[in-house]
């Protein structure tokens, strides 16, 4: 174990675990998370921290680019997590949490240079084909509005795309119609800590105001 890992673990044992023994004991009985979060693997996005959560609150699926694959692609970690969260854990909310400076969204536009020829990114490239519609719509939008931030538009389109893809899951639609489930799309700004939420009526992302 690296020293940085050991130091972190020691601190956890001595402080957080010690101070929350009852919580950890209760958690041995089972989990009852109220929300599922589907977010990017990016290390800068820390959903539990952003929402000041505790263990047991959030069922989290992470992948490159917070992508929800279509329902008909059966073999997949993200699909399994959604199925488990909705049908078994019966979460009240699914949150698609995208973010600024997303490397996955940036990669959609990247063309391999000669120096990069030896770097294998076969799975990344294949996985990101799911996000092509987000890129294509951003290109169209920016052709007519060159002043717009294409990276941010792609990230936000990609969140909306994941929401649309959730609607290809029959049990998600059923839970929505029964009003036992809500779906939210959030965009997190790494530099400012702001969260923007997709507004279904106005079809734009709006900053979540606090204070």
| Sites of contact with Zn ion (CB under 5 A) | 40, 42, 102, 104
Angle, CA of 193, 199 and 204, to the nearest 5°: 80
CA-closest candidate to residue 65, choices 44, 42, 81, 49: 42
As measured in angstroms, the least distance from the Cβ of 154 to Zn ion is 11
As measured in angstroms, the least distance from the Cβ of 157 to Zn ion is 14
As measured in angstroms, the least distance from the Cβ of 42 to Zn ion is 4
As measured in angstroms, the least distance from the Cβ of 64 to Zn ion is 7
Would you call 44 helix, strand, or coil by DSSP? coil
Considering the complex, state which of residue 38 and residue 86 has its C-beta at the smaller distance from Zn ion.
38
Task: Return the DSSP state at 13.
Answer: I
Considering the complex, state which of residue 41 and residue 180 has its C-beta at the smaller distance from Zn ion.
41
Dihedral sign, Cα of residue 182, residue 187, residue 190, residue 191: negative
Q: How far apart are CA 71 and CA 65, in angstroms?
A: 17
As measured in angstroms, the least distance from the Cβ of 66 to Zn ion is 7
Considering the complex, state which of residue 102 and residue 183 has its C-beta at the smaller distance from Zn ion.
102
Q: How far apart are CA 158 and CA 102, in angstroms?
A: 11
Considering the complex, state which of residue 153 and residue 175 has its C-beta at the smaller distance from Zn ion.
153
- At what angle are helices 150-166 and 132-144 packed, to 10 degrees? 140
Considering the complex, state which of residue 79 and residue 158 has its C-beta at the smaller distance from Zn ion.
158
């Amino acid at each position: 174990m690296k020293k940085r890992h050991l130091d972190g673990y020691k601190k956890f044992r001595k402080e957080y675990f010690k101070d929350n023994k009852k919580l950890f004991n209760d958690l041995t009985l089972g989990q009852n998370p109220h929300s599922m979060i589907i977010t990017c693997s990016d290390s800068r996005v820390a959903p539990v921290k952003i929402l000041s959560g505790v263990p047991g609150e959030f069922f989290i699926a992470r992948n490159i680019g917070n992508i929800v694959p279509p329902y008909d692609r059966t073999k997949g970690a993200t699909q399994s997590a959604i199925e488990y969260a909705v049908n078994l854990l019966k979460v009240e909310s699914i949150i698609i949490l995208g973010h600024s400076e997303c490397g996955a969204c940036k990669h959609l536009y990247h063309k391999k240079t000669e120096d990069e020829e030896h770097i294998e990114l076969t799975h990344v490239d294949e996985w990101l084909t799911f996000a092509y519609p987000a890129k294509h719509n951003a290109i169209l939008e920016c052709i007519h509005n060159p002043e717009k931030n294409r990276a941010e538009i792609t990230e936000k389109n990609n969140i909306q795309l994941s929401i649309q893809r959730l609607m290809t899951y029959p049990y998600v639609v059923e839970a929505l119609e029964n009003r036992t489930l809500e779906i939210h799309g959030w965009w997190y700004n790494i530099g400012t800590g702001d969260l923007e939420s997709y507004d279904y009526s106005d079809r734009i992302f709006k900053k979540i105001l606090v204070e």
